[in-house]
Amino acid sequence: MFTSPDGRLQPLWAFVLSALLSVVAFLVAGYTASAIAGDHVLRFEAIFRPLLAVLLFVIFSWLLSVGNHVEEHRIAAQGLPLSPGGARQFALGCAIGFVLVMLAAVPIAVWGNVSFRTTFSSFNMVRASVVLGVLIAGALAEELMFRGYPFQRLVEGIGATGAIAVFSVLFGVVHLSNPGASVWGLINTVAIGVLLSVTYLRTRALWLPWGIHFAWNTVLGLVLGLPVSGLRLFNVAVHATATGPKWLTGGSYGIEASAPGALAIIAGLIIVWKAPLHPLENPAILSPAENQVEPGLPNVTN
């Protein structure tokens, strides 16, 4: 029931166990960061997000060893192979993320109004470097949790379509506690989850979705000074205020709850679906099942 004839953990049980342990990692990282940082929000994030990524790496590496009998290349098996092209995919993801944010932001500047307040100082430059680290670690932790081992096992268990639906909805739901969350914010965040999931499936690696995720948050929050899923934590030297109809600006949640944001996400889906992407060489491919294309998702791994 729990294992296959060769002693490996069944994909669905591997998904359930890894999902539960991901919640445990989230809670442990949160309580640890809170105990150390107290009420200092940025200090909390600077501890919480890297610690969460480390805990997820450790947990999933252990599951790969005991559940999947993978003794080598366990980081690669989670979707981060150190293969030629990995750095290029991350850079390409950053470029795509930048373009998508600008596609969403330009209509707000044209048909609405965006005012900027800048406060450049040596203190803010140091703070910005900390925020940059928080953003790159946070994007990695979320990709490991939502497109890493649990997602990959669910793809094996129920197919790509079902796994995309489950994890994209979960990705949207966990953002409902953010300031300014709304139905449109939920819908767009679920759509971003679909975009990042399809991006993983096109390359069978996390480099490209990690780059998109990191650049989206960084350009939106640190560069443009706009809210990132309702959060203002990342607005350091630049703080922007967008005014206009809520459908245009997304309100306090930001462009991820706006019509331009939705159009940018659709554009991103078209880009990653049609781009000539190829899976990276991975020395730790777990099973032939993960390389199979489910009917209804043509060319998803080509």
Residue range 190-200, pLDDT digits in tens: 999 999 999 99
Q: For residue 246, what are the CA distances in angstroms to 255, 259, 293, 302? A: 10, 9, 40, 39
Q: Is 286 within the bounds of a domain?
A: no
Report the percent of the chain where pLDDT is more than 90: 80
Structure tokens of 26? 């989230």
pLDDT at 62: 95
Q: Is 24 within the bounds of a domain?
A: no
Other CB atoms within 10 Å distance of the CB of residue 156 = 20
Question: Rounded distance, CA 211 to CA 176, Å?
Answer: 23
The pLDDT averaged over each successive group of 10 residues in the chain (302 residues) is 78 95 97 94 96 97 91 90 91 97 95 91 93 97 97 96 96 92 94 97 96 98 95 93 94 95 97 91 62 41 34
Q: Is 38 within the bounds of a domain?
A: no
Residue range 218-266, pLDDT digits in tens: 999 999 999 999 999 999 999 999 999 999 999 999 999 999 999 999 9
What is the total count of domains within the chain? 1
Q: Which residues contact 31 (CB under 8 A, 6 or more apart)?
A: none
DSSP-assigned letter for residue 275: S
Q: Is 215 within the bounds of a domain?
A: yes
- The domain of 234 spans 84-280
Q: Which residues contact 275 (CB under 8 A, 6 or more apart)?
A: 202
Residues pairing with 54 in the sheet: none
Question: Rounded distance, CA 48 to CA 27, Å?
Answer: 10
pLDDT at 76: 92
Q: Is 218 within the bounds of a domain?
A: yes
pLDDT at 299: 39
Question: Rounded distance, CA 204 to CA 78, Å?
Answer: 10
pLDDT at 291: 44
pTM: 0.91
Q: Is 198 within the bounds of a domain?
A: yes
pLDDT at 301: 35
User: Among 153, 155, 191, 152, which residue's Cα sits nearest to residue 175?
Assistant: 191
Q: Is 172 within the bounds of a domain?
A: yes
Q: Is 63 within the bounds of a domain?
A: no
Structure tokens of 49? 């997000």
- 241 and 87 in contact (C-beta within 8 Å)? no
